[in-house]
A and B are shown apart, each in its own frame.
Chain A
Amino acid sequence: MKKKSINLLSISLMVLMCCSCFLPSAFAGKKDDTLNIAFSKELETLDRYFNTAREGIVIARHAYDNLLYRDPVTYEYKGLIAKTFKWNSDTEMEISLRQGIKFHNGQELTADDVAYTLNFAANPDNKVKTQRYSSWIDRVEKTGTYSVKIMLKKPFPAAFEFLSGANPIYPKDYYLKVGTEGFGVKPIGSGPYKIVEVIPGQKIVMVKNENYFKDSPKGQPNIGKIVWRTLPEINTQMAELMTGSLDWIYLVPPDQAAKLAKVPSLTVTPAETMRIGYLQFDSANRSGKEHGMDNPFANLKVRQAVNHAINRDSIAKNLLGGQSRAVYSACFPSQFGCEQDVKQYKYDPAKAKKLLSEAGYPNGFETTLYGYRNRPFAEAMIGDLAAVGIKAKLMILKYAALREKSRSGKAQMQFLTWGSYSINDVSAIVSHFFEFEADDLSRDPIVKDLLIEADSSIDTAKRKKLYSDALKRIADQAYWCPMFTYVSNNCYSKDLHFTPYPDAVPRFFQAKWK
């Protein structure tokens, strides 16, 4: 009996010893001044000009600097690499550069680097993937060691926005030497963090740039090291956060974020983002004209009925939660020119039914609602539509497949979202969807003319008025059913001081340990 007990004890001890071997060697965080963060998506390259992912924007804000910086609170443009910047005319900008800024390899940043980088990005032959951010630039000329002139193809009022949000400056000599492929895995910038290790598909390690220039409007980096991991599964990210192996994750679904909020060691901050959700209708009736389909959405009253049928407030409050709110104008409220005084279609099923009846659909009709994400939201919309007699079948497709269907004029009602590339200007949304480009399903020449004029004016008041008129007409004609703003649930360690902003670009260079 005694021998049996001793054997049992030995086995138990062995198991315990084995288990102690399993314990992770080091936990993340404050103790070793290492911020461990995770994103779902693997970046194809760290060259910002050759990736279009949000993760690419985040890396770029840390490793590189732009000419300008947009204050995330006041939305004021400040010089970053630029010391001063001004318009010489509608199509010429003059910029003087700060002296003494160094790239991570120790080389000084001069006008040569600025002119080379921006001319490279603007040249279509270089096939950069972010053409839309730089296609407005005609050429950049060096006017001195620390000064450049940017010549525009035509007046482009969002130039400051694009110089601050996109178009980072690269070291000319290094980029010429290693090319985009070499730069994509071993980049060098002048930002607050320098990239020291890249394991594709697994992690990127950044360390604080000790020589970052002192009067940068970005501030000085505080945390010594950032380890960026790629973890595709949100459940895995959550588990790692709960064990302390990660210090920060975001884009956590609301129900999961509510669970994390109950964990004492974590903070959950639901922050509103610039992404909005909306329904887009085939108002121009391409499905009818080109494919012979019966299209109820060509009728204004039907579009208005849908606008009245959707309970935006309920979806925003119950499904998105946090700071999400209903929107009625086809833009994000903080964007320049986002007119809020537009026709508002409040939730009113009775009015929706009346409008349907007036449109010739007293018993409603059958249709298809296409979407590519957020199935629960789409199901809530289908419920609201069913309540007024519109029997919508839900069809969730891959983004590429939906885009193909939409641009071929076969989708009559789509649930879409748009993040405006985090650009705080309505041209990043309405000009994309209402200027007769591929995604314009309303094809209204009045709206188009208003927007084109607004897009090419640098007179702020005039632009505001033109965008206002365009947005009012979009609402009057119910070309869209704008619904709600999205929320990004930032979940992070209680030890971390972190502030999220509406552009959904986390700024770890401002984060610090408590």
Chain B
Amino acid sequence: MIVMVTVSLISFMLLRVSGDPAISLAGEGASNEEIEFVRIQYGFDRPLIIQYFEWAGRALHGDLGNSPYLNQPVAQMIKERMGVTMTLGVCALSFAMILSIPLGMLAAIRPNTWIDRIALSISVMGQAMPSFWFGLILIIFFGVHLRWLPISGSDTWQHFVMPTIALGYYATPAIMRLVRSGMLEVLASDHIRTARAKGLRWPKILFKHTLRNAIIPVVAVAAVQLGFMLGGSIVIESIFALNGLGNLAWVSISRSDLPVVQAIVLFLSTTYIFLTFMADIFNAFLDPRIRSS
């Protein structure tokens, strides 16, 4: 709760000091009278703190206000676009898991070898490349040259392939490193040694006895990564013209549509806090040591 209030307060203040929203709303060349009219009409003339508490009071009752720019209820705008962002976030997380878990396993099976190095390089590249740049590379390669995938929009599942890769690749290193270190730790433990001594088949040791133990922290981290991806979709959605929350946030910032930006920040921070909380609970469920502590 404290985190949510702090985030909303900081974002509220930062948005207000970044420029007078009445000037943006009134448009280029508007006279002082027109700007003043807009300022009064939308209540931007009142002290910031009053504006904040009024907004927060309404938000607590589920009323996120209206967009002065589009003249639509903000809650409805978020609801309409949430599906695209959630789909993208879940797909990107799935992609990150599908890529990073095998890479992490390979790296752990052959630690400090060329396989380990290649696996690590593939994964680290994801974090080293800015996602907007990687997105454009994907567009040029798969969209323009090969023409395999549609470039923009969110009409079909094909539209989500490139954004998923661009967003998910960024989260790969964190998960991959966690899988690798977890696997190394478990592979060195007594019960694995016993399993090998018993003559169990290597795949069974790897998947049943090692991965199941090593993956516990990964599942928890994945929830946090999903939170990051929802926030990080701003750039990806604008590049691929996906009509989701990220795109809405981007255009709302550029046109100083403050109630919308404010509501998206609140929504994303709440989602992030919720996911982190769920991750803690899930961790405790999977690991009895956390429960007892």
Contact = CB atoms under 8 A, between A and B. Distances in A.
Nearest to A432: B29
Interface string B148-166: 1111110000100100000
Interface string B6-49: 00000000000011110110111101101001000100000000
Given A44-B70, A52-B28, A23 B148 contact: yes
Given A22-B161, A131-B34, A231-B241, A239 B148 contact: no
Contacts of B241: 229-233, 236
B198 to A, nearest CB: 32
A236 B277 CA distance: 37
A399 interface: yes
B65 interface: no
A404 B20 contact: yes
Contacts of A52: 27-28
B129 to A, nearest CB: 16
B139 interface: yes
A232 B26 CA distance: 21
Contacts of A42: 251
Contact of B151 (A44, A239, A418): A239
B139 A399 contact: no
Contacts of A400: 19-21, 23-24, 256
B239 A401 contact: no
Given A243-B143, A404-B23, A438 B151 contact: no
Contacts of B85: none
B149 A22 contact: yes
Contacts of A401: 18-20
Given A45-B71, A242-B144, A235 B136 contact: yes
Contact of B158 (A22, A41, A131, A407): A22
B251 A233 contact: no
Nearest to B81: A201
Contacts of B27: 52-53, 129
B178 interface: no
A464 interface: no
A246 to B, nearest CB: 9
Given A235-B239, A398-B19, A404-B19, A437 B31 contact: yes
A7 to B, nearest CB: 19
Place the interface of chain B in its size category: 35 or more
Contacts of B18: 398, 401
A236 B144 contact: no
B250 interface: yes
A495 B26 CA distance: 40
A433 to B, nearest CB: 9
A36 to B, nearest CB: 11
B16 to A, nearest CB: 11
Given A235-B139, A401-B20, A438 B31 contact: yes
A201 B238 CA distance: 12
Nearest to B244: A201
A132 B26 CA distance: 12
B283 to A, nearest CB: 37
B9 to A, nearest CB: 21
Contacts of B290: none
A112 B20 CA distance: 40
B269 interface: no
Chain A interface category by residue count: 35 or more
B140 interface: yes
A144 interface: no
B69 interface: yes
Nearest to B142: A22
Which of A236, A243, A399, A407 counts the most chain B CB atoms within 10 A? A236
A405 B184 CA distance: 59
A24 interface: yes
Contacts of B140: 239
Contacts of B144: 239, 242-243
B247 A201 contact: yes
B261 interface: no
Contacts of B37: 127
A204 to B, nearest CB: 14
Interface string A32-43: 000000000110
Contacts of A236: 139, 151-152, 239-241
A52 B26 CA distance: 8
Task: Pick from A22, A53, A242, A437 the residue with the most CB of B within 10 Å.
Answer: A22
A236 B19 CA distance: 29
B147 interface: yes
Nearest to B248: A201
A400 B22 CA distance: 8
A85 B66 CA distance: 43
A202 interface: yes
Interface in A299-330: none
Contacts of A404: 19-20, 23
A232 B251 contact: yes
Interface string A216-234: 0000000000000111110
Contacts of A127: 37, 41
Contact of B153 (A45, A200, A202, A403): A202
A399 B28 contact: yes
B243 interface: yes
B203 to A, nearest CB: 19
A135 to B, nearest CB: 10
Contacts of B29: 132, 418, 421, 432, 439
B247 A44 contact: no
Interface string A392-417: 00000111110110010000000000
Top 4 nearest A-B pairs (CB, nearest first) are A400-B19, A52-B27, A401-B19, A400-B23
Given A202-B243, A239-B140, 20 more contacts: A24-B150, A201-B251, A202-B153, A230-B241, A231-B241, A232-B238, A232-B251, A233-B241, A235-B136, A235-B139, A239-B143, A242-B144, A398-B19, A400-B19, A400-B23, A400-B24, A401-B20, A404-B23, A437-B32, A438-B31
13 contacts: A23-B147, A127-B41, A129-B26, A233-B239, A236-B240, A239-B143, A240-B151, A243-B144, A243-B151, A398-B256, A399-B24, A401-B18, A421-B29
Interface of B: 18-21, 23-24, 26-29, 31-32, 34, 37, 41, 69-71, 136, 139-140, 143-144, 146-153, 158, 161, 238-241, 243, 247-248, 250-251, 256
